[in-house]
Amino acid sequence: MKNKWFCYIQINEEENYVNTSGMTFNEFYEGIQVKPNNILILKGYPGDRYCQFDNKTDLEYVTSDNIKDFAQTNVYDYGDFYWLDFESIDSLKSISDLELAEILFLAHKAKPVKTFRFGCLNNQYVYCCHDDSWSVKVYMNRIESYKSVIEYKILKELKGKKKTISPFPKDISDRLYTLFKQGGIIDFEYGVKDSVRIYPVGCLNDMDAIHEKLDKLRTCLKGLSLGYNRVTKKWDLYEW
């Protein structure tokens, strides 16, 4: 499948998860304001350079000392890459057999039996991706905090070689979050200078369908434009 410069986002507030295509693990990590203390690897193997082995769960984990460096690596090579965060090494010892069974179910099905949060771990996230950015499902305790990930992604793509670019004002951030609750595509490739096109598309679970939808939308003069004025240093979101 041809690589296209876009990002699909659909936020499910009822079940506290976000589906994306086009958002890498590194972008998610850099975009979240609350970083994980440690991460328990459910699928994928980062290697001995970053990982340690937990005898209680028979799973690998990455400590806070290595997470930032690990987030710079190419997780695409793992194929499936799943993890959840946990507060401290000691908390791994508190996992019950039932909780471990639920964690392994989550690792197999990318959905929880009851909840994606485990009290003994005090986790904030469960992250499940295939081929890094191709298909991502991430559960978040504070789903509205995904606003900062959306902002990070757009600012990163538009910033280019420029040294600075202003953050989103609250009203723009809130409007984008509301839009992406219904499902939308950010089109970086077909946007004009210092702007991106945004297409409301609804909930699309099949990645091939997202690509096909984007092809059709790029031929239509309908959608929204998010633009940045480098003179006034202001953002504007409008229909076109």
Give the model confidence (pLDDT) of 52-71 as tens digits: 999 999 999 999 999 999 99
* Helix or strand run (H / E) with residue 23: none
Q: Is the pLDDT of residue 82 over 50?
A: yes
Write down the pLDDT at residue 4. 62
Q: Is the pLDDT of residue 1 over 50?
A: no
Q: Is the pLDDT of residue 3 over 60?
A: no
For 158-193, what is each residue's pLDDT tens digit? 987 566 889 999 999 999 999 999 999 999 988 778
Write down the pLDDT at residue 218. 86
- Top pLDDT among 222 and 146 is at 146
Write out the DSSP string of 92-152. Answer: HTT--HHHHHHHHHHHHHSS-SS-S--TTTT--EEEEEETTTTEEEEEESSGGGGHHHHHH
Write down the pLDDT at residue 203. 92
Mean pLDDT of 24-30: 97
Mean pLDDT of 119-142: 96
Which one-letter amino acid corresponds to residue 153? K
Write down the pLDDT at residue 2. 43
Give this prediction's pTM.
0.94
Write down the pLDDT at residue 162. 66
Mean pLDDT of 29-44: 97
Alpha-carbon dihedral of residues 219, 203, 180, 201, nearest 10 degrees? Answer: 20
Mean pLDDT of 101-125: 96
